Amino acid sequence: MGKTMHENAVAAPFAAEKLRLAGLRPTRQRLELASHLFGGPDRHVTAESLHDEVVEAGIKVSLATVYNTLHQFTQAGLLRQVIVDAARGYFDTNTGDHQHFFLEDEGMLIDIPGETITVAGVPTAPPGMTVDRVDVVVRIRRS
């Protein structure tokens, strides 16, 4: 009935591999956060939503560590940040080229595959600057 070593062994191996490749020690907290983040389909989380979820699952991790880990994963290229709301920061497990619907009422993100939207006519960046990326956010609401 308690958690067995076997139960945890399901997600850990590939998560440990990810962390190793990123040069991050596979600590208990990082492994647990990584399997929640990367163990299923792509997802969008806030620090607090992920912390709640992980605490709910009986895992002991502080909110500070969740923030630290999300930033480390982002630096390592395992996550990207999505800026759609002035009040909250979102992190996205899908680091590939894609865009978002943002449901302003629920504060929820939905992926739009990268090939779907075409952005044409982006001017060249001012002298001495380079384009880091082009974000498209389709803001939607109950109609």
Partner DNA sequence: AAGTAGTTTAGAATAATTCTAAGTCGAGAA
Partner DNA sequence: TTCTCGACTTAGAATTATTCTAAACTACTT
**Is residue 109 within 8 Å of 100, Cβ to Cβ?**
yes
Which of 27, 75, 81, 95 is in the footprint of its own copies by CB under 8 A?
81
Calpha distance 140→127 (Å, rounded): 35
90 three-class SS: strand
- Of 3-32, which residues contact Zn ion (CB under 5 A)? none
Stretch that binds DNA, among 63-71, 95-103, 110-118, 131-139 (CB under 7 A): 63-71
Q: Which does 104 bind (CB under 5 to 8 A by kind): its own copies, DNA, Zn ion, none?
A: its own copies
Q: Please say whether the beta carbons of 35 and 15 come within 8 A.
A: yes
Among 14, 77, 88, 96, binds its own copies (CB under 8 A): 88
Distance CA 101, CA 121 (A): 22
For position 28 contacting DNA by CB under 7 A, the verdict is yes
The rounded distance, in Å, linking the Cα atoms of 92 and 70 is: 10
Site for DNA in 64-93 (CB under 7 A): 64-65, 67-69, 71, 86-89
At closest approach, how far in Å is the CB of 139 from Zn ion? 15
Task: Please state, in angstroms and rounded to a whole number, the distance separating the CA atoms of residues 92 and 85.
Answer: 14
Residue 108 is classified by DSSP as E
Interface residues with DNA (CB under 7 A)?
Answer: 24-30, 46-48, 60-65, 67-69, 71, 86-89
Interface residues with Zn ion (CB under 5 A)?
Answer: 92, 94, 111
